[in-house]
Chains A and B, each alone.
Chain A
Amino acid sequence: MDTILFIICAIVAILSGLNMILQKHPISSALSLVGVMGALAVLYLLLGAEFLAMAQMFVYAGAVMVLFIFVIMLLNMGRERASRKSWFAQIVGLPLVLAFLGILLFITKAALPPFRAVQFGTWVGGGAYNIGRLLFTTYLLPFEVISVVVLIAIVGAVILARKEID
Chain B
Amino acid sequence: MIPPMPVPLSWYLFLSAVLFALGVAGFIYRKNVITMFLSIELMLNAVNLTFIAFSYQLQHIDGQIYSFFVMVIAAAEAAVGLAIILAVFRNRGTLQVDEVDTMKL
Contacts and interface: CB of A to CB of B under 8 A. Distances in A.
Contacts of A63: 75
Nearest to A63: B75
B81 to A, nearest CB: 9
B39 to A, nearest CB: 7
A89 B30 CA distance: 10
Given A47-B56, A49-B52, A108-B17, A97 B28 contact: yes
Given A14-B15, A109-B10, A146-B69, A94 B25 contact: yes
- Chain A: interface size category: 35 or more
Interface in A103-127: 104-105, 108-109, 112, 115-121, 123, 125-126
B33 to A, nearest CB: 9
Nearest to B84: A160
Nearest to B2: A1
A44 to B, nearest CB: 6
Interface in B66-91: 67-69, 71-80, 82-87, 89
5 nearest A-B pairs in the assembled complex, by CB-CB distance: A117-B6, A153-B76, A21-B26, A160-B83, A115-B9
